[in-house]
Structure 1
Amino acid sequence: MRNEHRGRGFGRPGGWQQADLPDPADVPDWFAGRLPSDWFTGSPVIEIDRDEIVVVGELPISQPEKPAESESGADEAPADKVPNATKEGAIARFRESTRPARMQIANEAQQRYGRSVAWGISVDGQRYLFTHLAVPVMTRLRQPERKVLDTLVDSGVARSRADALAWTVKLAGKHAEAWLEELRGAMRKVDDLRSEGPQGL
Structure 2
Amino acid sequence: MVGRVHGGWRGPGGRRGPGRGGWQQADLPPCDDAAAWLHGRLPDGWFTDAPDVTIDREEIVVVGELAAPDGDYTDDESGRAERAAAEAGRISRFREQTREERIEIARQAEHRYGRKVAWGARIGDSVELFTVASVPVMTRLRQPERIVLDTLVDAGVARSRSDALAWAVRLVGQHADDWLGELRAAMAKVDELRAKGPTG
What is the TM-score with the length of structure 1 in the denominator?
0.79
Alpha-carbon distance change, 136 to 172 in structure 1, aligned in 2, over 3 angstroms: same
Partner of 1:34: 41
User: 1:96 Cα shift?
Assistant: 1.0
CA offsets per residue over residues 82-127 of structure 1, 9 Å max, x none?
8334323321221111111100111111111111111011113322
Partner of 1:102: 102
CA offsets per residue over residues 152-198 of structure 1, 9 Å max, x none?
22232222111111121112222211111110111122222333334
Match of 1:56 among 53, 60, 63: 63
Partner of 2:128: 128
What code does the residue aligned with 2:60 have?
I
Partner of 2:142: 142
Partner of 1:72: none
Do the aligned residues in 2 keep the contact of 1:34 with 1:105 (CA within 8 Å)?
Answer: yes
Partner of 1:43: 50
User: 1:62 Cα shift?
Assistant: 4.2
Query: When the two structures are aligned, how many residues end up with a matched partner?
Result: 183
What code does the residue aligned with 2:186 have?
A
RMSD: 2.8
Between stretches 140-149 and 102-111, larger displacement belongs to: 140-149
SS at structure 1 position matched to 2:131: coil
User: 1:199 Cα shift?
Assistant: 3.7
Between stretches 24-33 and 168-177, larger displacement belongs to: 168-177
Gaps of 5+ in 2: 1-10
Larger RCO, structures 1/2 (Cα 8 Å, 6+ apart): 1
Question: Would you tell me which structure has more helix in proportion to its own residues?
Answer: 2
SS at structure 2 position matched to 1:133: coil
* Matches of 1:7 and 1:116, distance apart in 2: 17
* Matches of 2:85 and 2:150, distance apart in 1: 41
User: Aligned residues: percent identity?
Assistant: 57
Gaps of 5+ in 1: 67-75
| Larger Rg computed on CA atoms | 1
User: 1:141 Cα shift?
Assistant: 1.1
What is the TM-score with the length of structure 2 in the denominator?
0.79
User: 1:53 Cα shift?
Assistant: 0.7
* Matches of 1:8 and 1:116, distance apart in 2: 17
Partner of 1:77: 74
* Matches of 1:150 and 1:113, distance apart in 2: 38
* Matches of 2:42 and 2:84, distance apart in 1: 27
